Amino acid sequence: MFFFFSYFQFGTTISSQPKNINRAVYTYRILDIIKQVRKQKKGIGDIIDDIRQVQRETITVTATLARQEQVTDDHVYKAASKEKKTGGGDGAYVKSYKLLTKIRERFDDMVSSKWWWWW
């Protein structure tokens, strides 16, 4: 009985709708929706292109940083080794090398930690 009652209500609702609905209005709405979807699709494509460009730049900068870090590490290590062997100087190169190692470790910890992804 409930089904019949719901169907009856639906039928009366449909019959009360205007019969002279303009198809051009619906066509215009559909075409407008399609136009908006195309704009959104283009916008999403532009955002994806920007993300890829930033990823390329990040990879380039990371590679450059890694090379510079290696060169710096080699120079400071050689100077610290030379200073330690000769026994001269105030130990600044040895301290510099230790500090450089600590900086690298802390940076690696910061990048690899989970809280980094929340920012």
- What are the tens digits of pLDDT across the range 41-91? 999 999 999 999 988 888 888 788 889 888 988 888 888 888 878 876 677
Tell me how many helices (H) and strands (E) the chain has.
3, 0
Number of CB atoms found within 10 A of residue 56's CB: 10
**Model-level pTM?**
0.52
d(CA 29, CA 35): 10
- The ranges assigned to domains in the chain are 20-112
User: Is the separation of the CB atoms in 110 and 119 below 8 Å?
Assistant: no
